[in-house]
């Protein structure tokens, strides 16, 4: 498998500017270093990553093939869209497709393509992952689940859901906080 090390900090990919987007209270999403090699992803942040399920909806991800087949380790309680969520944090993995944000998401970078993502057999993947202090690791990801694409960048982002009356997401807004 091809190994790609991502060492350029705050590079501009897909029109996203990294460090200028760091928001207050999101220090755990500031990426210190990252490495992606298929079959996996490693991210180190500046501070410990909260795993108590009380820090809002956020993710770490590898952008591949533009905005298709994006590998994410995410938590977004109370949305229940995975059979593999771990209590109490709610963390789990997905392979998602992203699209340009709709008009309801001013200032967002992307919106999750819920329909397209749900068609992907890797959407509710149960990849091996861990969070220890300020380090995230996702392992044993088949390259074919990512469309055999190379990594364009590693990102951290927040998620803002729009929910229907039954608390199911109708839209998910993605705001990139940092990238490498």
Number of domain units in the chain: 1
In a domain, 133, yes or no: yes
How many Å apart are CA 161 and CA 158, to the nearest integer? 10
Determine contact, residues 17/6, Cβ cutoff 8 Å: no
Identify which of 71, 23, 85, 24 has the alpha carbon closest to the alpha carbon of residue 43.
71
How many Å apart are CA 40 and CA 138, to the nearest integer? 5
In a domain, 6, yes or no: no
In a domain, 33, yes or no: yes
Confidence of residue 38 (pLDDT cuts 50, 70, 90): low
**Cα-Cα-Cα-Cα dihedral sign, residues 39, 177, 21, 14:** positive
Count CA atoms within 13 Å of residue 128 on its CB side: 6
Kindly state the percentage of the chain with pLDDT values over 70: 84
**What's the DSSP call for residue 16?**
B
β partners of residue 13? 16
Confidence of residue 12 (pLDDT cuts 50, 70, 90): very low
User: How large is the C-alpha radius of gyration of the chain?
Assistant: 15
* 3-class secondary-structure state, position 145: helix
In a domain, 7, yes or no: no
* 3-class secondary-structure state, position 146: helix
In a domain, 8, yes or no: no
Of the listed ranges 16-25, 91-100, 109-118, 149-158, the least confidently predicted one is: 16-25
Range 132-161 average pLDDT = 88
In a domain, 113, yes or no: yes
Range 61-89 average pLDDT = 83
In a domain, 5, yes or no: no
In a domain, 31, yes or no: yes
Q: What is the residue range of 102's domain?
A: 13-179
Token pair 């108590």 is found at 52
Identify which of 42, 17, 41 has the alpha carbon closest to the alpha carbon of residue 175.
17
């Amino acid at each position: 498998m091809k190994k790609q090390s991502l060492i350029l900090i705050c590079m501009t990919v897909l029109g996203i500017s990294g460090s200028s987007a760091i928001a207050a209270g999101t220090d755990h999403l500031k990426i210190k270093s990252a490495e992606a090699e298929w079959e996996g992803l490693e991210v180190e942040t500046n501070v410990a990553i909260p795993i108590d399920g009380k820090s809002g909806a956020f993710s770490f991800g590898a952008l591949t093939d533009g905005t298709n087949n994006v590998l994410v380790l995410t938590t977004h309680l109370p949305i229940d869209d995975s059979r593999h969520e771990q209590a109490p944090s709610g963390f789990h993995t997905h392979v998602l497709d992203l699209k340009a944000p709709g008009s309801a998401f001013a200032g967002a970078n992307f919106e999750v393509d819920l329909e397209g993502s749900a068609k992907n057999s890797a959407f509710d993947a149960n990849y091996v992952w861990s969070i220890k202090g300020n380090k995230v690791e996702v392992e044993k990801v088949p390259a074919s689940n990512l469309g055999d694409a190379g990594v364009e960048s590693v990102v951290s982002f927040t998620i803002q859901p729009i929910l229907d009356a039954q608390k199911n997401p109708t839209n998910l807004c993605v705001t990139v906080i940092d990238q490498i």
